[in-house]
Chains A and B, each alone.
Chain A
Amino acid sequence: MSKFTVTRRGALKTGAAAGAGLALPTIFTAGAARAFTNEPGASSVTLGFNVPQTGPYADEGADELRAYQLAVEHLNGEGDGGMLQTFSSKVLDGTGILGRKVEYVTGDTQTKSDAARASAKSMIEKDGAIMITGGSSSGVAVAVQGLCQEAGVIFMAGLTHSNDTTGKDKKANGFRHFFDAYMSGAALAPVLAKMYGNDRKAYHLTADYTWGWTQQESIQAATEALGWETVNNVLTPLAATDFSSYIAPVLNSGADVLILNHYGGNMVNSLTNAVQFGLRDKQVNGKNFEIVVPLYSRLMAKGAGENVKGIFGSTNWHWSLQDEGSQAFVKSFGTKYGFPPSQAAHTCYVQTLLYADAVTRANSFEPCAVVEALEGGDSSLPGIDSPSNKGYLFDGLGNGPTLYRAADHQCFKDVLVVKGKDNPTSEFDLLEVVEVTPVDQVWYEPDHPMFAGGDLGQCNNGA
């Protein structure tokens, strides 16, 4: 039994304790005097690599981590230097960043926004990371980008394909090298029209979350502009592993193309289901039934095995590209790990180099100075007549001339349309590049309706 008796002494004690509790926080208001969050010391600088090590995108995460380690080696002057030799900016000389040795910490995002933010926070608060990079899903990238903006560190997005990352959720401290869903649609649609004709009926299966929706929206807009008709769009739960019940209605819908807006394990399963149902052997409306996977990766192609043969999709980069930068990267990655890098690895490697380059050009780690360096001067992509065609132009990192656009911190470059190879020569040789869609075809204005509604805000230096 309990009684709550108030004694004079008890009341005094409680009052004193409560007073102390209230007074306590006021002595902590003064932060340490630093110019910006996690200003590095004179000998080393710490970068935070925040990738999924468990969960559905663990394969991509592992490959990203390999690429980061390689980038750190090259920045510190170990290994063969990789893309440092082919990069159009020559300020990186293998002595770390601004003479400081590059060190890194790693974390597990678990492909969950919460866990990713916790991991990024621990890198910022505990390990003193000056830049966070990584992510293998758009939700995570957007969440971590928001955190970095608040904390005052730079975020270099890894693999994130949703329009929102540099659309309505763009942030001044966040940058994306990877392409987005709009570019996939714009690059893929003309090839599809050429291969399958302008008179097609498409049926979409879409992963039911932000990325799936923006992807579907983009592809639908791009294909309808070329005369295709969209029969239906069915949303599938992200956790689904068996898509048979979604595939069966496709046969009776009158559609002759199935578009799978799925990624990772989802795509592997849905494509396998679709092929097992014999969709590809069917004739509908007097045409061969076709399947399209708008966002492709080699790791996914590997998972789907035989089923990817002849299936079209788009990708940011592929190791079989013959330009100097790609070859240098594939060579040093292959020497170290024994197999070619994925597109996730490529974008992460490039992002690390771009950050190091921007710091060196700005001659400061201060986030606002780095943002300014990445936004570049007034250089612009040739052949595109637009007032927003301004930013930092570079080359030699595998995608040809590339523009980091100042208006939304999105990279603009050529996009690859690929196809599952019919006769692969090795377990890595699964995709062949069908067409390199030039950048002016995938260009869009920052206020395009699919990207509108966001605001970069001001760069934040933190503390």
Chain B
Amino acid sequence: MLGLDKKDATILLVVIALALLAPFLLNPFPSNSGLAQFNAGYPDLMQRFVIFGIFAIGFNILFGLTGYLSFGHAAFLGVGSYSAVWMFKLLSMNVLPAILLSIVIAGLFSVLIGYVSLRRSGIYFSILTLAFAQMSFNLAYSVLTPITNGETGLQLTLDDPRVLGQTATASGNIPATNVFGLEMRSTYTMDVGAWSFDFNAGYYLCAIIMILAFYLSLRIFRSPFGLMLRAVKSNQQRLNYTGLNPKPYTLAAFIISGMYAGLAGGLLASMDPLAGAERMQWTASGEVVLMTILGGAGTLIGPVLGAGFIKYFENIFSKINDNVLHQWFSFLPEGMEDTLVFLLHPFVGKGWHLTLGILFMLVVTFLPGGLVEGGQRLSRLFRRRSRDTDTTPDPEHHPKESPHVAE
């Protein structure tokens, strides 16, 4: 289907199913039960899941395939957001032109940064990209304030021109972002018994774009171009000696992944029309590296899982406070309740970084291939149980088979 073999088609179908059914999957607990705290199926977080999924998919095209570790990808995300918000300010509140412009501008920006940074490889490349990103951040934070509105972030105002749309709604408010009239924030809430599920227009737009982005990355992974990128990763010198110039390939990969980041930035701004300079800070660049490694670098679905994992902790765990803990353990005797709350306190609320750090350590130590490797080990465990007589491949086979990247 669509030029994919059976296995890739299955992966794509799984991603499609996950994306479209997310409102159900992420809200497994009844909305007034104590566990509702862990529900993640509200529009803003679902949007973030898929948007950062796109960001990580793009990053993985560069890092997973060529092995070039960029520490400055957030710069493209930020540039994408700023371009999108400027479109909302000047043109109209329709998100499609905004998203298009953010991809284009991020692409141009990545040509510039990529051309310079790719003159070096390894750690020097990482440092160069980091330097560029921090430069962009500082420019956006103070020097370029007329364009970026500095620390406050670029926002829409009531007197923006919006030449193709309306400057203000009839009720005197800033119009909402939309696709040909369908507002991104419009949400239909379905109540089924004790459960409630939110279907948000903006989320579905993001989800469809994420599926397209995922499909594109799948095709890149399986293409001759992708093979060439993998050759760059495995041994660049050998590639040079065979008479091939790896530069154009790495630059192309850099630009593609920069455009993915721009797309993610444009979508972020489309869902919530604000672009803050923090989006370009090195911590944001580091976050996408974490997402990719946590999920499994070089795998197709890993970065999406990693993005979801980190955003979940940032948004759900940071909101558990002592009050909530006391509610959970209120059935215990007083002393035990207080002890438990005292023990858990450092790990939730403002301590969410700590929990995430511990999990990251555990994953990297025990599952170097990320969450995807965890999944593989589990499935292998079950498969081995079901058929014990599984014949192992020829032990004398040389060279050793290496695992397929998409596994």
A150 in contact with B201 given A58-B350, A113-B274, A143-B155 (CB within 8 Å): no
A sample of 12 more A-B contacts (CB under 8 A), given A139-B150, A211-B151, is A1-B224, A2-B3, A107-B319, A108-B318, A108-B350, A112-B278, A118-B314, A122-B44, A122-B45, A142-B153, A147-B274, A150-B185
Docked Cα-Cα span, A30 to B188, in Å, equals 6
What would be 8 A-B contacts, judged by CB atoms less than 8 Å apart?
A25-B204, A58-B350, A113-B153, A113-B274, A125-B187, A143-B153, A210-B151, A210-B152
Chain B neighbourhood of A21, CB < 8 A: 208
Within 8 A of B (CB), among A149-198: 149-151, 164, 169
Q: At the interface with chain A, which of B110-118, B166-174, B296-304, B360-368? A: B166-174
Q: A2 and B276: CB pair below 8 A?
A: no
Q: A122 and B319: CB pair below 8 A?
A: yes
Q: B186 and A31: CB pair below 8 A?
A: yes
A29 in contact with B201 given A118-B315, A122-B45, A457-B173 (CB within 8 Å): yes
Within 8 A of B (CB), among A100-123: 104-108, 112-115, 117-119, 121-122
Chain A nearest CB, measured from B184 CB (Å): 10
Q: Determine if B42 is an interface residue (Cβ-Cβ < 8 Å).
A: yes
Chain A nearest CB, measured from B199 CB (Å): 5
Question: Which of A28, A107, A150 has most chain B Cβ within 10 Å?
Answer: A28
Q: B2 and A10: CB pair below 8 A?
A: yes
Q: A31 and B39: CB pair below 8 A?
A: no
Chain B nearest CB, measured from A189 CB (Å): 26
Chain A neighbourhood of B4, CB < 8 A: 2
Nearest-CB residue, chain A, relative to B219: A2
Q: A32 and B189: CB pair below 8 A?
A: yes
Chain A neighbourhood of B208, CB < 8 A: 21
A238 in contact with B152 given A121-B44, A143-B274 (CB within 8 Å): no
Within 8 A of A (CB), among B256-285: 272, 274, 276, 278-279
Chain B neighbourhood of A458, CB < 8 A: 171-173
Q: Determine if B230 is an interface residue (Cβ-Cβ < 8 Å).
A: no
Q: Determine if B306 is an interface residue (Cβ-Cβ < 8 Å).
A: no
Q: Determine if A287 is an interface residue (Cβ-Cβ < 8 Å).
A: no
A29 in contact with B186 given A10-B1, A14-B2 (CB within 8 Å): yes
Q: A209 and B151: CB pair below 8 A?
A: yes
Chain B neighbourhood of A455, CB < 8 A: 157-159
Chain A neighbourhood of B326, CB < 8 A: none
Q: Determine if A53 is an interface residue (Cβ-Cβ < 8 Å).
A: yes
Q: Determine if B182 is an interface residue (Cβ-Cβ < 8 Å).
A: yes
Chain B neighbourhood of A113, CB < 8 A: 151-153, 274, 276, 278
- How would residues 114 to 149 of chain B score, 1 for a CB under 8 Å from any chain A CB and 0 otherwise? 000000000000000000000000100110010001
Chain B neighbourhood of A117, CB < 8 A: 272, 274
Docked Cα-Cα span, A460 to B171, in Å, equals 8
Nearest-CB residue, chain B, relative to A53: B350
Q: Determine if B355 is an interface residue (Cβ-Cβ < 8 Å).
A: no
Q: B189 and A114: CB pair below 8 A?
A: no
Q: Determine if A407 is an interface residue (Cβ-Cβ < 8 Å).
A: no
A54 in contact with B176 given A114-B278, A143-B274, A210-B151 (CB within 8 Å): no
Q: A29 and B204: CB pair below 8 A?
A: no
Q: A31 and B187: CB pair below 8 A?
A: yes
Chain A neighbourhood of B188, CB < 8 A: 27-32
Docked Cα-Cα span, A417 to B138, in Å, equals 34
Q: A147 and B278: CB pair below 8 A?
A: no
Chain B neighbourhood of A235, CB < 8 A: 142
Chain B: residues with CB nearer than 8 A to chain A?
A: 1-4, 39, 42-45, 48, 138, 141-142, 145, 149-153, 155-159, 168, 171-174, 176, 179, 182-183, 185-189, 198-201, 204-205, 208, 219, 222-224, 272, 274, 276, 278-279, 314-315, 318-319, 321, 323, 349-350, 352-353
- B199 touches which of A28, A108, A151 (Cβ 8 Å): A28
Q: A142 and B272: CB pair below 8 A?
A: no
Q: B142 and A149: CB pair below 8 A?
A: no
Nearest-CB residue, chain B, relative to A108: B318
Docked Cα-Cα span, A458 to B219, in Å, equals 49
Chain B nearest CB, measured from A238 CB (Å): 7
Q: Determine if A426 is an interface residue (Cβ-Cβ < 8 Å).
A: no
Q: A24 and B276: CB pair below 8 A?
A: no
Q: B173 and A146: CB pair below 8 A?
A: no
A139 in contact with B153 given A121-B272, A122-B319 (CB within 8 Å): yes
B contact patch SS: mixed
Q: A139 and B201: CB pair below 8 A?
A: no
Chain A: residues with CB nearer than 8 A to chain B?
A: 1-5, 10, 13-14, 21, 24-32, 53-54, 58, 104-108, 112-115, 117-119, 121-122, 125-126, 138-139, 142-143, 146-147, 149-151, 164, 169, 208-211, 235, 237-238, 454-455, 457-458, 460
Chain A neighbourhood of B352, CB < 8 A: 108
Docked Cα-Cα span, A112 to B42, in Å, equals 21
Docked Cα-Cα span, A121 to B40, in Å, equals 12
Chain B neighbourhood of A26, CB < 8 A: 182
Docked Cα-Cα span, A324 to B198, in Å, equals 48
Chain B neighbourhood of A2, CB < 8 A: 3-4, 219, 222-223
Q: B321 and A114: CB pair below 8 A?
A: no
A150 in contact with B174 given A28-B187, A108-B350 (CB within 8 Å): yes
Chain B nearest CB, measured from A133 CB (Å): 15
Chain A nearest CB, measured from B200 CB (Å): 7
Chain A nearest CB, measured from B158 CB (Å): 5
Chain A neighbourhood of B314, CB < 8 A: 115, 118
- B44 touches which of A105, A118, A238, A460 (Cβ 8 Å): A118
Docked Cα-Cα span, A443 to B138, in Å, equals 35
Nearest-CB residue, chain A, relative to B318: A108
Docked Cα-Cα span, A5 to B5, in Å, equals 12
Chain B neighbourhood of A209, CB < 8 A: 141-142, 150-151
List of 8 A-B pairs having minimum Cβ-Cβ separation, nearest first: A458-B172, A53-B350, A209-B151, A113-B276, A121-B44, A126-B42, A139-B151, A28-B188
Docked Cα-Cα span, A164 to B155, in Å, equals 13
Docked Cα-Cα span, A281 to B398, in Å, equals 79
Q: B44 and A54: CB pair below 8 A?
A: no
Docked Cα-Cα span, A238 to B140, in Å, equals 13
Q: A24 and B204: CB pair below 8 A?
A: yes
A53 in contact with B276 given A4-B3, A13-B1, A458-B173 (CB within 8 Å): no
Docked Cα-Cα span, A332 to B141, in Å, equals 41
Nearest-CB residue, chain A, relative to B349: A53
Chain B neighbourhood of A31, CB < 8 A: 186-188
Chain B nearest CB, measured from A382 CB (Å): 33
Docked Cα-Cα span, A10 to B2, in Å, equals 7
Chain A neighbourhood of B173, CB < 8 A: 149-150, 457-458, 460
Chain A neighbourhood of B219, CB < 8 A: 2
Q: B201 and A238: CB pair below 8 A?
A: no
A208 in contact with B142 given A29-B201, A53-B350, A146-B274 (CB within 8 Å): yes
Nearest-CB residue, chain B, relative to A125: B42
Q: B199 and A147: CB pair below 8 A?
A: no
Q: B276 and A143: CB pair below 8 A?
A: yes
Q: B152 and A139: CB pair below 8 A?
A: yes
Docked Cα-Cα span, A30 to B142, in Å, equals 42
